[in-house]
Amino acid sequence: MKMWSGRFGQAQNPDFEQWQRSFPFDRALLPYEVAASKAHAAALAAAGVLSERELAATLSALDQIEGEGGPQDDDPTIEDVHHFVEKRLVELAGEVGYKLHTGRSRNEQIATDLRLYVREQIDAISQTLLEFLGEFVEQAEDAGQNAMPAYTHLQRAEPVLVAHWLLAYVEMFLRDLDRLADCRKRMNECPLGSGAVAGTILPLDREAVANELQFDSPTANSIDATSDRDFAIEFVQALSVVALHLSRWAEELVLFSTTEFGFVKLPEQFSTGSSAMPQKKNPDALELVRGKAGRVFANATELWIAVKGLPLAYNKDLQETQQPVFAAAGQVSSMLRVATGFLAVVSFDGERMQQAASGGFMNALALAALLVRRGVPFRQAHEQVGQAVRLGLEKSCALEQLSKQDYAQCGIAADAELFRALALEEVLAIHDVPGGTAPLRVRAALAAIKEKLSIYAGAAHAGT
């Protein structure tokens, strides 16, 4: 039996009937639909609509429905997850099952179910993100004092600690964690009691229902609660940024794994071969992380488009907001799992990175800094060091290999201190500010990050 057939004299067009169904995908919401239904049943009993016995029968049938997990195959007679639960409830508990829909509407139910889904996904994805960050921390610790080139414009710019480079990603993903937590704060309100649009017709205890479902409070406006999906949009936007960061990370590792860079040794567990070229080991895991990021952005766009033209309040278009949310959550979870596994086993060629960190005139700025300390205005120092670089290029040698005479030609008085300043350790050490790559600063940053991660892990444990 349909949930709304009374006023209809004609059968639905069969194509339309099948096409408008959401059960093939909204069955993913079954656990939340059951939880919300239990909370509503308790509120109905408190309002005197269900007797104690009826409540007990309803709750135990709902438990069974959750345990069964829905039909094995799709059932074409079921319109959506709400319809399914009602139908199964009547099968299990009899006529009393028809009482559960008293004082509620599918409009508030779907708004509630989707929030519960998003909340659970935020918690799960945050947990996976934390594990991913744990691997960055381990790699940063393993990297010790190793250095590598930092690039701007993809040209060698300045040497940095490998740990400093790794921790750059940690900062990005920490902000992603924050974004998810922030989104959770705003979305954690309970629409139940909003009815179809104007608020329920029964004196239901909305506070109690919200409490039961671990929402912070009931929503404040029934029209808003049943019609906005900004929480889903925010969630998928936050996931888009996670995907964006994952994609940049993957791209950088793809690049670093080329023979030309040779910084990253691709783990075989996360690589594939070529069916044509026997020698190949390809970075498919990274490429797919990069490739799949685009799908998450597409999900975010789908959501914007689904909601942007809708007058208040509920419109069936909102049914189209479910799949992009499921897809984005599923995608980002699996991207993170693969990325975490990859990072746990990837190894870096520390020697090669260190070697690369020492070439390419990347100590030029450090030399200019020394001249500045000696009282030369920066612009002049820049010019003089630039001339020294030109000389080095002509002679195919590094700055530390130029002679005192060469330096004199550039107006620079070279002495032992100058040559010391050109050494990699010195070049790293002068970036001695919070956020800089001086080894002591990186050590402090690593300690701060570990502290932050343990706070996050504690919070996740406490379920907040």
Give CA separation, 271 vs 231, 251, 282, in Å: 37, 15, 5
Q: Is 58 exposed, middle or buried (0-12, 13-18, 19+ CB in 10 A)?
A: buried
Q: Is 200 in the site for ligand ARG (CB under 6 A)?
A: no
Phi, psi at 312, each rounded to 5°: -70, 150
Q: Judged by CB, which is closer to ligand ARG: 110, or 250?
A: 110
| Cβ–Cβ < 8 Å for 460, 123 | yes
The reply on whether position 319 binds ligand ARG by CB under 6 A is yes
Q: Is 80 in the site for ligand ARG (CB under 6 A)?
A: yes
| 153 is annotated as an active-site residue | yes
Helical packing angle, 439-461 and 106-143, nearest 10°: 150
Residue 272, Cβ neighbours under 10 Å: how many?
A: 14
27/73 Cα distance (integer angstroms): 11
Q: At 446, phi and psi to the nearest 5?
A: -65, -40
Q: Which residue's CB is nearer to ligand ARG, number 170 or number 329?
A: 329
Q: Token pair for residue 380?
A: 């002049």
Catalytic choice (153, 275, 396, 461): 153
Marked catalytic residue, from 274, 347, 403, 454: 274
Stretch that binds ligand ARG, among 154-162, 298-306, 312-320, 330-338 (CB under 6 A): 312-320
- Least distance in angstroms from the C-beta of 112 to ligand ARG: 11
In the chain, the largest separation of any two C-alpha atoms, in whole Å, equals 101
Q: Least distance from C-beta 61 to ligand ARG, angstroms?
A: 21
Cβ(289)–Cβ(252) below 8 Å:
no
Q: State the nearest-atom distance from the C-beta of 16 to ligand ARG, in Å.
A: 14
Give min distance, CB of 106 to ligand ARG, in A.
4
Q: Which phi and psi angles does 287 have, rounded to 5°?
A: -65, -35
| Comparison of 196 and 457: residue with beta carbon closer to ligand ARG | 196
Closer residue to ligand ARG in complex, CB, 319/355 = 319
User: Closer to ligand ARG at the Cβ: 297 or 314?
Assistant: 314
Q: Which of 69, 74, 76, 77 is closest to 3 using CA atoms?
A: 77
Mask for 89-118, x = binds ligand ARG (CB under 6 A): -----------------xx--x--------
Q: Count residues contacting ligand ARG (CB under 6 A)?
A: 10
Q: Does 222 bind ligand ARG (CB under 6 A)?
A: no
**Residue 378 near residue 367, CB atoms below 8 Å:** no
* Minimum separation from the CB atom of position 95 to ligand ARG (A): 23
Q: Are 459 and 449 in contact (CB under 8 A)?
A: no
The yes or no reply on residue 315 touching ligand ARG (CB under 6 A) is no
Is residue 314 part of the contact set for ligand ARG (CB under 6 A)?
Answer: yes
For the question of residue 275 being annotated catalytic, the response is no
Q: Which is nearer to ligand ARG, 31 or 436 (CB)?
A: 31
What is the rounded CA–CA span in Å between residue 78 and residue 378?
75
Positive or negative, the CA dihedral 253, 272, 270, 175 is positive
| Cβ nearer to ligand ARG, comparing 7 with 316 | 316
- Closest to ligand ARG by CB, 58 vs 109, is 109
CB 44 within 8 A of CB 204: yes
Cα–Cα distance, 14 to 9 (Å, whole number): 15
Q: In whole angstroms, how close is the CB of 196 to ligand ARG at the nearest point? A: 7
Q: How many CB atoms lie within 10 A of CB 248?
A: 14
Least distance (Å) between residue 226 CB and ligand ARG:
9
| Least distance from ligand ARG to the Cβ atom of residue 105, Å | 7
When binding is defined by CB under 6 A, the residue of 147, 241, 318, 414 that contacts ligand ARG is: 318
Per-residue contact flags (x/-) with ligand ARG for residues 10 to 49, judged by CB under 6 A: ------------x---x-----------------------
Token pair in block for residue 15: 């194509």
Q: Cβ(156)–Cβ(71) under 8 Å? A: no
420: Cβ contacts below 8 Å, ≥ 6 apart = 426
* Binding footprint of ligand ARG on the chain (CB under 6 A): 22, 26, 80, 106-107, 110, 314, 316, 318-319
Catalytic residues: 153, 274
